[in-house]
Structure 1
Amino acid sequence: MNAKELKNLVNNKSCGPGGEVNKGKKLYPKCDTSIWLRSCSQEVVQPLEGKLSGQVPKWLRGSLIRNGPGSLKVGDMTFEHLFDSSALLHRFAIADGSITYQSRFLQSEAYKQNHAANRIVFTEFGTKAVPDPCQTIFNRISAVFSPDETMSDNAMISVYPFGDELYTFTEIPVIHRIDPNTLETLERVNLSKHVNIVNHTSHPHVVNDGTVYNLGLSVTAMGPKYAIVKFPPPKNSSSGERTSAFQQARIVATLPPRWLLHPAYMHTFGLTDSFFVVVEQPLSVSVPKLLRSRLGSTPMAGTLEWYPEHETLIHLIERDSGKHFKTFSAEAFFYLHIINQYEKDGHVVLDICCYKDASMIDCMYVEAIKNLQSNPDYATMFRGRPMRYVLPLSEPPGPETPGRNLVTLKGSRCVATRPRAGEKVVVVPELICDVGCETPRIHYERHLGRPYRYFYAISSDVDFEHPGSLLKVDTETGTWKLWNEENVYPSEPIFVPAPDAQGEDDGVLLSALVWGGAEETRAGVLVLDARSLAEVARAEFLTPSAVPKCLHGWFVGDFQPHAV
């Protein structure tokens, strides 16, 4: 089933079994989809004072920067997919116990040209642009070889630092530097001009010395290859000349896709002390379809192909040498976010938010979101769970018996078997906890790529008793704590460690808030004690325009603890 068929499946199942029986009835009454469908019409350029309750810790100083969908409208037109919405940045500035709020649209070329023309002029992930009558077939052919000028640079997914600079990300390798104090868009950087990649993930990793790693796709004479790109921290010469991370960028490892013209869609990747972890799911980007879509200016979503009969592959690549180490096979699953990964006692432990197929992407079409309350299949299609895979780095001593469990990690219920000699090891996961979790975050500074116990997330089950609530999951016990409040919808929780933190959860969680229903101009930020999920403080703001729910962000603090 391809992406177009999945989209039609989602949008056409408005009644389901019983037809008219479901009409007008809310199947998920506690889930308010309006928070995703709002369009901001007025920025908050000057910091806005709000209503503060509780007491913000004195040591908490910095800016919570958020990124996400800002407006589904351009003139009289509407984007068709949530991923197409114009990027809106949010800033919650925290200092001396007070908090202010700002918001500004990312001034990407797509945003500027769309609004100059008052119509959608760039084709997005799920939305076709209005055809330009002046563009000939030869212009479109030329555009295939100059994607920088024709592909949307609407970087509305995430925010990451390169040294002391902050950049917005999407999966096209054009990023934007923003001012963390004013949210002004400062610079547009096309990474493909510095290193041979045509796309990259929205979630790079930042390690102890400020080096940034990301996974991209490189086009070579031998065909496409997955490429791990290293961006060393910026440096200054003795003469004061600055060399940016992008000028130093280089590919440190490559891996061919299993299907030459159908590389996998990837939103993130993992790393441990010794390995890069590349999870190759059977959702592929068809290169022939991609070329046709570029010629016809059709959405990229139509190039995605889901192959349920094929397994998901988990590749380990040595960080030191860049060489492929081992590949494991798992039953097909779809994912967007990896929770964490680490090495322990001769194994790699991989925790990941898994879905049985890729239909959750199509659940984010605007029409599918609008029809959610009358679609009995929506909850199932969006159902994901946090799963743990354990990958044995070597085989335990003893006879090589088919079906023997190679996992010897103490306390693990995971399974890894080699069906027959010479075949890949097949891994079977264990369920971490029976609740949908998305946008997972950990104590990143100390536990990225290392053993950890807790992660923080948003409940993603639309039929959950408290959909959209904040979760703290204990991976050792499989239990979770919950924070929720009627009609309040928090965003991805970001952990900020306390100075001289004594434990993994010694700190606070920061989460941006929006309110459902008619309270579309009400925004806020929540400060929770990370151990108990007890509310420490919050700030609420009344804004001049609607505030949509955001996706991902970064905390830029005055106090920066030692990173991994």
Structure 2
Amino acid sequence: MDTPTHDPIAASGRARGFLSGAREIDDARVDIRGTLPSWLRGTHLLNGPALWELPGGRHEHWFDGYAMWHALRIADDGVRYRSRFALSDAYRRSSAAGMPVFGEFGSPNPAGLLTRLRSPQVTDNPAVVMSRHGDRWLSVTETPFLTYFDPDTLETQERLDLGHGDEVMHLMSAHGFTLADGSYLNLATALGRRCEMKLFRLRPGSARPEVLGRIAMPRSGYTHGFGLAPGHALIWETALRAQPLAFRFGSRSYAGNFRWEPRDGSAIHAVALDTGGVRTWRIPPIMAFHCTQAWGDGNDLVLELAVYDDAAVFDDLRLDRRRAGAPLKSLPRHVRYRLRADHRDADPEAIAGPAIELQQVHPWRVGRRRAQVCWGGGNGEHGEFSDRTHRIDLDGGGVSSWQRPQAIQLEPLFVPRPGGEGDDDGVLLVPTLADADDATVIGVLDARSMECLAELRTPQIVPFGFHAAFRFH
């Protein structure tokens, strides 16, 4: 299904990854250059925004585009590509109207005042993270909707609305976790005079969330993710505070309903998964999207984050700036917080190595034990956006990198080798787009040496997304 688009903003070279225009493709061959490891067999799933313009209006922020799923099926006889738009309510209604009908992350709510007073206008555009729930796959944004999809055909299945059950949930972290039994663990926020964050579990086959722990606060912080350590969820409370009345009645964008309030600082909360007990440590004010990892060290808990000193990163990621290739104004710092059992404050400790975002560790270590190595996207010396991939030794600080010339390269998805034992025994799958490319090139890197083993050349430019997943067959 092709959707007509109107793009009044030009972009060239690598910035073409921020343009609308990706097509739905049923089945196409992927050109392989180099040699894929013999064990790498399965489906590489990609998710992200793909359509920002409609005939009657357009979105303003990278995060706002309507979601498209992409699948690269890697088999003995080659690699095949498929793409489908997620048939969210936001996509279907906006396509029918020829203009956006919901506010998105960085675009204002177009609904009139009377419509907003009757009921909240909340997008379900699942353009951020894909996760497994039991034997099924789901896709989410930062609102409490779970959009299930078929990982083979990419067909949209049903949508589960967690916001209208017994537990009030207005917002939800984009990054949940799949537990060993297939349960889906995530964090939701109920807005009000006093806000409440709710850590919940959704058991396989269930549509009813079970709240495991609650954290009450005057105004909740912007929450994109949280960390998982053995027996605990580690939740960072940013200094970007939700304004509940703005969410309920206002016309501003999702991000516009938060306000930077550094005076009260930030916090890290540890919620015990078995009892729901909460311990809290105060930290200096931060904004953060992603956790590198969390683990237990004796009686202490440890959390590693990519943090920002303010919320300017949201402006950096507006479409006009990214399509123009503007230098970044806000850069993250990679820090470690040690949460001591007998302290109530935790100071950041710088992690040696360059700043990274969209960071990864071995997925089989998450919630179990500490990983010694991580990977992430890095920025250029002059603020160039995400133009390299780093491997960082989290003990010794050693760094090795991979870079395609004149390219943007996004999240390096680590795929572990079945049966492997090392924290870096596997490959990285890195979507890239260089100035001269006619389509997306996915680099397949040896995760230890950072040597490029192969390139997968897709049949079209895959618009720049955020997160990926790998499904072994």
**Could you tell me the TM-score, scaled by structure 2's length?**
0.92
Q: What is the rounded CA distance, in whole Å, between the counterparts of 1:429 and 1:151 in structure 2? A: 35
1:142 maps to which of 101, 110, 118: 118
Cα pair distance change 1:195/1:526, threshold 3 Å? farther
Tell me which residue corresponds to 1:37.
18
How far apart are 1:337 and its partner, in Å?
A: 0.4
1:327 maps to which of 255, 263, 280: 280
Cα pair distance change 1:461/1:329, threshold 3 Å? farther
Paired residue secondary structure (2:233): strand
1:524-539 alignment to 2 at 5 Å?
524-539=441-456
Tell me which residue corresponds to 2:470.
555
Cα pair distance change 1:462/1:184, threshold 3 Å? farther
User: Do residues 384 (structure 1) and 329 (structure 2) align?
Assistant: no
User: Do residues 452 (structure 1) and 363 (structure 2) align?
Assistant: no
How far apart are 1:108 and its partner, in Å?
A: 0.8
Tell me which residue corresponds to 1:237.
none
Amino acid at match of 2:40: L
How far apart are 1:365 and its partner, in Å?
A: 1.7
Cα pair distance change 1:54/1:167, threshold 3 Å? same
Tell me which residue corresponds to 2:215.
255
Cα pair distance change 1:187/1:462, threshold 3 Å? farther
Q: What is the rounded CA distance, in whole Å, between the counterparts of 1:230 and 1:522 in structure 2? A: 40
How far apart are 1:201 and its partner, in Å?
A: 0.3
Q: What is the rounded CA distance, in whole Å, between the counterparts of 1:182 and 1:171 in structure 2? A: 25
Amino acid at match of 1:99: V
Q: Is the 8 A contact 1:387 1:430 kept in 2?
A: yes
Q: Deviations over 1:329-363 (max 9, x none)?
A: 11111100011000012211110001111110121
- Amino-acid identity (%): 26
Paired residue secondary structure (1:327): strand
Paired residue secondary structure (2:346): strand
Tell me which residue corresponds to 1:82.
62
User: Do residues 209 (structure 1) and 128 (structure 2) align?
Assistant: no
Q: Deviations over 1:533-554 (max 9, x none)?
A: 11222221332xx431121121
Tell me which residue corresponds to 2:237.
280
1:168-183 alignment to 2 at 5 Å?
168-183=139-154
How far apart are 1:371 and its partner, in Å?
A: 5.3
Paired residue secondary structure (1:435): coil
Amino acid at match of 2:467: H
Q: Is the 8 A contact 1:340 1:449 kept in 2?
A: no
User: Do residues 339 (structure 1) and 296 (structure 2) align?
Assistant: no
Cα pair distance change 1:336/1:466, threshold 3 Å? closer
Paired residue secondary structure (2:119): helix
Q: What is the rounded CA distance, in whole Å, between the counterparts of 2:418 and 2:246 in structure 1? A: 51
Q: What is the rounded CA distance, in whole Å, between the counterparts of 2:165 and 2:471 in structure 1? A: 26
How far apart are 1:505 and its partner, in Å?
A: 1.1
Amino acid at match of 2:432: L
Tell me which residue corresponds to 2:5.
none
Q: Is the 8 A contact 1:466 1:484 kept in 2?
A: no
2:422 maps to which of 480, 503, 521: 503
Q: Is the 8 A contact 1:40 1:547 kept in 2?
A: no
Q: What is the rounded CA distance, in whole Å, between the counterparts of 2:187 and 2:435 in structure 1? A: 36
Q: Deviations over 1:150-193 (max 9, x none)?
A: 32111111111101111111011112111111211121111224
Q: What is the rounded CA distance, in whole Å, between the counterparts of 1:59 and 1:287 in structure 2? A: 49
How far apart are 1:34 and its partner, in Å?
A: 1.3
Amino acid at match of 2:85: F
Q: Deviations over 1:72-102 (max 9, x none)?
A: 1111422111111111111111111621222
Paired residue secondary structure (1:153): coil
Q: Is the 8 A contact 2:15 2:324 kept in 1?
A: no
Q: What is the rounded CA distance, in whole Å, between the counterparts of 2:29 and 2:323 in structure 1? A: 33
Cα pair distance change 1:359/1:462, threshold 3 Å? farther
Cα pair distance change 1:332/1:526, threshold 3 Å? same
Q: What is the rounded CA distance, in whole Å, between the counterparts of 2:468 and 2:148 in structure 1? A: 14
Q: Is the 8 A contact 1:39 1:547 kept in 2?
A: no
1:226 maps to which of 173, 194, 197: 197
Q: Is the 8 A contact 1:62 1:95 kept in 2?
A: yes
1:356-505 alignment to 2 at 5 Å?
356-370=309-323, 373=326, 378-379=327-328, 381-394=329-342, 425-461=344-380, 463=382, 467-505=386-424
Amino acid at match of 2:177: H
Q: Deviations over 1:271-302 (max 9, x none)?
A: 21122211111111111222231xxx332222
Of 426-435 and 470-479, deviating more is 426-435
Q: What is the rounded CA distance, in whole Å, between the counterparts of 2:127 and 2:458 in structure 1? A: 23
Tell me which residue corresponds to 1:245.
206
Amino acid at match of 1:51: D
How far apart are 1:484 and its partner, in Å?
A: 0.8
**Could you tell me the TM-score, scaled by structure 1's length?**
0.77
Q: What is the rounded CA distance, in whole Å, between the counterparts of 1:96 and 1:323 in structure 2? A: 49
Q: What is the rounded CA distance, in whole Å, between the counterparts of 1:109 and 1:231 in structure 2? A: 23
Tell me which residue corresponds to 1:109.
89
Paired residue secondary structure (2:454): strand
Amino acid at match of 1:557: F
Task: Choose 1 or 2 for highest CA Rg.
Answer: 1
Q: Deviations over 1:366-394 (max 9, x none)?
A: 23334553xxxx53x32112111111123
User: Do residues 351 (structure 1) and 304 (structure 2) align?
Assistant: yes
How far apart are 1:490 and its partner, in Å?
A: 2.7
User: Do residues 307 (structure 1) and 261 (structure 2) align?
Assistant: yes
Cα pair distance change 1:190/1:104, threshold 3 Å? same
